[in-house]
Amino acid sequence: MTKRFIDLTLTVRHGMRGVAIEPHTRIDPDGYNTTNLHLYSHAGTHMDAPLHFLEGGATIDQWPLAQLVGPAQVIDLSAVEPHGLHTVDDLLPHAAKVTPGCRLLLRSDWSLHADLPDYRPDMPRISVELARWLVERQVALVGVETPSVASLRPENKGELTEVHRTILGGKIVIVESLTNLRELRQETVEFIALPLKIDGGDGSPVRAIAIEEG
């Protein structure tokens, strides 16, 4: 059986928010190429650890690997408006797929805005009620095509905090700034997102991929 591999990761490049890439050595005159990488822990496609919003929360190296790899349900929420909310009502038609231990990839196509000024302020986001519903359903992982699961507008700081604390407090892995979910052809894919093993880390860039069978 053939497998199709889809890269769900934004390319890390110099000048991206939180990223600086500088030469360290070069073949001429050093004999080999090496590079200094300066990475914000939540740069590009990345994973949040509970410590990101919970005092004393688990760190990025403490997420169980089995939670980060496995079948994921692709939910198409691309009809959402800019700065719109993903609500419980949006997920109810897919409720049969939202079972304990499941992984959800919420397609919004917002990754098409990754290089546009509206990428952060106008992104759609998860409502507080939906965050609570996901915890009640004992979801294992939720991935989004936006730089955050909650609004990054300054006036919505309370929402940002509550949504993150609810999801992370429910031991749900958060993967943000995914891309290319529109390229997936199947409703269930094998999903892999592995962070750097950072001691005490509150988050880490990841390489996220999906695998489709047949």
Residue 170 CB-density burial (10 A; 0-12 exposed, 13-18 middle, 19+ buried): middle
The C-alpha atoms of residue 131 and residue 57 are separated, in whole angstroms, by 18
Which one of 46, 52, 113, 164 is the catalytic residue?
52
Classify residue 161 as left (phi > 0), alpha (psi -120 to 50) or beta: alpha
- Does 52 qualify as catalytic in the annotation? yes
Contact 152, 160 (CB under 8 A): yes
Angle, vertex CA 60, rays to CA 84 and CA 167, nearest 5:
35
Q: What tokens appear for 6 in the block?
A: 């889809």
The C-alpha atoms of residue 162 and residue 60 are separated, in whole angstroms, by 20
Catalytic residues: 52
